[in-house]
Amino acid sequence: MNILDLKKPIWFMRQAGRHLPEYRKIRAKKNNFLDFCFDYESIVRSTLQPIERYDIDCAIIFSDILVIPYILDQKIDFIQGMGPKLETLEIKDLLNLTLNRRKEKDLDNCYRAIRKVRKLLNKNKCLIGFCGAPLTVACYMIDGESKKGFIKTKKLLKSDKLKVKKLLRKIVDVSTVHLINQYKSGCDTLMIFESWAGSVDFKHYNDFLYEPVKQIIKNLRSLNVNAPIIVFPKGIGKKIVDYSNNVFADIISIDQNIEMSWAIKNIQKDIILQGNIDPEKLLIGGRDLETSVKKLLKTVSNRKHIFNLGHGILPGTPISNVHKVINIVRSC
Ligand code: 1CP
């Protein structure tokens, strides 16, 4: 069942992963994160773990947005506690990258895992496939890491717009194929993560944010992929209205820095809203969490809404806090 067919869906970005002891247990069996990411059994298990523990409405296939630079043959490492680190390449070398067929084959395990998860998952749960939005993936490819605020990317967006646009087109093509394969394998809902939307100046939104995402959606629709599409332009504040008017997605995920009541008034009525509890509130718990969840539910009571956070679950989040939120949402 896709996410729009569900009545009052609830799921959490980064619901699989480090806050779950059962994830940490299977993760510890592989040294390297990519080995885990491409291992059939590990993908199936970690995708289903949050559903088994919380009985929430959507599973999101366990993978990462950086599988795209990996199959384009840019070397990548995930360093424990540091996050991803990619081989440093100049823009001209990034433009020369081509698909590595052997590495592309590693994704077959992801598609096989989707087929298996779809079989094991109850029919009335949805299964989300995803990719990074091209600009966010390009940020990692150009800078190699996120820790320094994507200085190289920001400079290049100003000094060599044409070359960046060329790189984005390459990422659009590879991401389109990846999303189609996820859809054909059994994902009924697709999500595009623009985690670093905030790195772009508003005057460049059209070229770097709207056009690439619009193109992916256009490609999918022209190939009869009719799954609902969620976009998540994190960190763009009030420009989210302009964003949602331009990319033609079905659902927009709202980060915690935007007031939901404001979003309801300003984002066109036919777009479904997802979000936006602050992950820190989920981490801390207590009365403040309870009040925020109840306030959000009241705010969205007259509009179709998908319950979620404003960003991913933080690693130290207590499981009891997640249960508490689910109980409040289900009892309202
Ligand atoms: O060893 C580990 O367990 C590594 C931690 C980890 C995990 C659990 C990474 C490395 N990726 C993932 C899985 C992941 N990544 C999922 C599936 C799990 C789920 O949602 O349940 C998803 C959807 C992602 C998406 C992702 N990866 C995004 C977009 C969403 C977001 O959080 O903004 C981004 C930006 C990444 C890059 C990435 N991969 C891993 C880390 C630690 C990061 C972020 C690093 C940074 O801050 O730049």
Q: What is the CA(151)–ligand 1 centre distance, in A?
A: 21
Query: Of 274, 291, 180, whose CA–CA distance to 225 is shortest?
Result: 180
For 274-294, write each residue's pLDDT tens digit: 999 999 999 999 999 999 999
Query: Of 53, 56, 93, 59, whose CA–CA distance to 73 is shortest?
Result: 93
Q: Letter for the amino acid at 242?
A: D
- All residues at 6 or more sequence positions from 220 whose CB lies less than 8 Å from its CB, including other chains: 176, 179, 180, 183, 190, 227, 229
With a cut of 90, say whether residue 81 has pLDDT above it: no
Q: Residue 312 gets which letter from DSSP?
A: P
Rg of the chain taking only CA atoms, in angstroms: 19
The HSE-up count of residue 175 (CA atoms within 13 Å, CB side) is: 32
Residues 295-310 have a mean pLDDT of 97
For 82-101, write each residue's pLDDT tens digit: 889 999 999 999 999 999 99
Q: What is the CA(84)–ligand 1 centre distance, in A?
A: 9
Compute the distance between CA of residue 256 and CA of residue 279 in angstroms, rounded to an integer: 8
For 29-48, write each residue's pLDDT tens digit: 999 999 999 999 999 999 99
Residue 107 burial (10 A CB sphere; 0-12, 13-18, 19+): buried
Q: What is the CA(332)–ligand 1 centre distance, in A?
A: 31
Angle of CA points 196, 252, 56, to nearest 5°: 100
pTM higher than the cut 0.95:
yes
Q: Which two tokens stand for residue 215?
A: 């193109």
Q: How far is CA 258 from CA 35, 197, 217, 297, in A?
A: 37, 14, 25, 15
- All residues at 6 or more sequence positions from 155 whose CB lies less than 8 Å from its CB, including other chains: none
Q: What is the CA(64)–ligand 1 centre distance, in A?
A: 6
Compute the distance between CA of residue 85 and CA of residue 137 in angstroms, rounded to an integer: 13
Per-residue pLDDT, 80: 82
Establish whether the linkage from the previous residue to 327 is cis, with ω within 30° of 0: no
Query: Of 176, 197, 309, 179, whose CA–CA distance to 253 is shortest?
Result: 309
Residue nearest to atom 8 of ligand 1 (CA): 17
Name the residue ranges covered by the structural domains of the chain: 3-331
With a cut of 90, say whether residue 192 has pLDDT above it: yes
Q: What is the architecture, at CATH level 2, of domain 3-331?
A: Alpha-Beta Barrel (3.20)
- E strand or H helix at 146: none
Per-residue pLDDT, 82: 83
- Mean pLDDT estimate for the chain: 97
Compute the distance between CA of residue 179 and CA of residue 63 in angstroms, rounded to an integer: 12
* Atom of ligand 1 at shortest range from CA of 136: 35
Ligand 1 interacting residues, C-beta cut-off 6 A: 13-18, 27, 33, 60, 62, 64-66, 78, 83-84, 130, 146, 193, 195, 312
Residue nearest to atom 43 of ligand 1 (CA): 83
With a cut of 90, say whether residue 332 has pLDDT above it: no
How many CB atoms sit inside 10 A of residue 15's CB? Answer: 26
Per-residue pLDDT, 212: 98
Beta strands at 272-277 and 251-254: parallel, antiparallel or unpaired: parallel
User: What is the pLDDT confidence band of residue 24, given thresholds at 50, 70 and 90?
Assistant: very high
For 135-189, write each residue's pLDDT tens digit: 999 999 999 999 999 999 999 999 999 999 999 999 999 999 999 999 999 999 9
- E strand or H helix at 107: helix 101-120
User: What is the pLDDT confidence band of residue 235, given thresholds at 50, 70 and 90?
Assistant: very high
Q: Which two tokens stand for residue 316?
A: 């130290």
Query: Could you tell me if 1 and 126 are in contact, meaning their C-beta atoms sit under 8 angstroms apart?
Result: yes
Q: What is the CA(11)–ligand 1 centre distance, in A?
A: 16
Residue nearest to atom 40 of ligand 1 (CA): 83
Q: Which two tokens stand for residue 53?
A: 């523990």
